[in-house]
Amino acid sequence: MDILSVFNLLLALTLAPLLPGIINRTKAFFSGRVGQPLLLPYFDIARLLRKGAVYSTTTTWLFRAGPVAGLATAAAALTIIPALGQPALISFKGDIFLLACLLALGRFFTMLAALDTGSSFEGMGASREAFYAALAEPALLIGMAALALVTGELSISGMYAGIAGKVFVSIVPICALVAVALMLVFLAENSRIPFDDPATHLELTMVHEVMVLDHGGPDLGLIQYGMALKMWLLGSLVVGVVFPMPGGLYASVVYVCALFALAIGTGVVESIMARFKMPRVPQLLVAAGAASFLAVILAAR
């Protein structure tokens, strides 16, 4: 076990809530406001964890399991996510499928918790989430397949270390296509504009937010922390193909800076474009899948 891999995992667990903070500050800057404190997500989570929770009598254990499963799967997935070329804490052949399964499991429980409330809003949200995820997952997996083909590795850590060892020019087209696909998956999975609007209060238009409407107190705190971890882990996959470099302390610094830059970029996107009409969202996700598939073709050539 590499001490740096443990260090990177600790970085992820402590710095993840900074990402939504940075996005919000970027948006505030663009709209001419001072914006909320950068550390507000930490305070929010701390505040929520100290609160009590109210449960509807119509809900079952599924409702309470949702937030726990969401956080647990995200935290578990982080252990197989490399930091640029630095291998993850755990890595084995085919761990990409474990990643996809963990993401799906977390989502499955979030959706069950939403359906458990019996609210028509939350049911709609769950149905949208399932639909989008069904399109985002192939884009992620096919993109990873391209990396596996080009590096000959079958673990995520192996792939990311592999592209770092390649001659840069030879893998640029593949990395660029995979980066585009993963960026779209990143925005979709983290319910950001143009897929979803995390800032809206309109329950009819929400996707992720509406599924957690009935959660409060510690449950909501777990959900928010889980979402931050998910953002960090999907962001790690994106920056890994944008900055392929071998592991080391230096790589860890670049890694964290690149993730912060990604958060700023997300904030910029949210500041300059409107959210898509819902029927257009699948088109964009299919485009992400197409980019991934093109990368596979290039890698197999």
Partner 1 sequence: MRSRLTLRNAEAAPLKAIEPFSAAIFAERLLRDLKGGYRLISYFAQKTGGQNARLYAVIAYDDDGLLRVAATDVAGAFESLTTDTPQAHLFEREIFEQTGLVPKGHPWLKPVRFTGASPEGMGVMKFHRVEGAAVHEVAVGPVHAGIIEPGHFRFQCEGETVLHLDTALGYQHRGVERSLKGGPDKRSIHYIETLAGDTTIGHATAWCQALESLAGVDISFRARGIREIALELERLANHVGDIGALAGDIGFLPTAAWCGRLRGDFLNMTAVICGNRFGRGLVRPGGVAFDLAKSQVADILNRLNEAHEGLDAAVPMLFDSPSVLSRFEETGRLSIHHAVDLGLVGPAARACGIEHDVRKNFTRRPEPSTRFTISTWSTGDVFARGMVRWLEIQRSIAYVRDRIRGLPEDGSMRPMKPPRNAHVAVSLVEGWRGEICHTAITGADGKLALYKVVDPSFHNWMGLAVAMRGQQISDFPLCNKSFNLSYCGHDL
Q: How many residues bind partner 1 (CB under 8 A)?
A: 31
Residue 98 and residue 12: Cα distance in Å, rounded? 19
Per the listing, tokens 């990873």 go with: 144
The tally of CA atoms less than 13 A away on the side-chain side of residue 11 is 24
* Piece of 28-36, 90-98, 136-144, 161-169 that binds partner 1 (CB under 8 A): 28-36
Is the CB of 33 or the CB of 47 nearer to partner 1? 33
Q: Which of 194, 244, 247, 289 binds partner 1 (CB under 8 A)?
A: 194
Is the CB of 7 or the CB of 276 nearer to partner 1? 276
Answer yes or no: are the C-beta atoms of 206 and 132 closer than 8 Å: no
Residue 65 and residue 29: Cα distance in Å, rounded? 37
Q: Which of 112, 166, 200, 218 binds partner 1 (CB under 8 A)?
A: 200
Query: Does residue 205 belong to the site contacting partner 1 (CB under 8 A)?
Result: yes
Build a one-symbol-per-residue string for 99-138: x at contacts with partner 1 by CB under 8 A, - elsewhere: ---------------------xx-xx---x----------
Phi then psi dihedrals of residue 89, to 5 deg = -55, -45
Shortest Cβ 276–partner 1 spacing (Å): 7
Shortest Cβ 159–partner 1 spacing (Å): 33
Query: Does residue 34 belong to the site contacting partner 1 (CB under 8 A)?
Result: no
CA dihedral 41, 12, 90, 253 (to 10 degrees): 160
Query: Does residue 42 belong to the site contacting partner 1 (CB under 8 A)?
Result: no
Answer yes or no: are the C-beta atoms of 18 and 101 closer than 8 Å: no
Query: Does residue 27 belong to the site contacting partner 1 (CB under 8 A)?
Result: yes
Phi then psi dihedrals of residue 85, to 5 deg = -85, -10
Q: Which of 30, 42, 55, 260 binds partner 1 (CB under 8 A)?
A: 30
**Measuring CA to CA, how many Å separate 196 from each of 67, 266, 273, 278?**
20, 13, 12, 9
- Sites of contact with partner 1 (CB under 8 A): 27, 30-33, 120-121, 123-124, 128, 193-194, 197, 199-205, 270-280
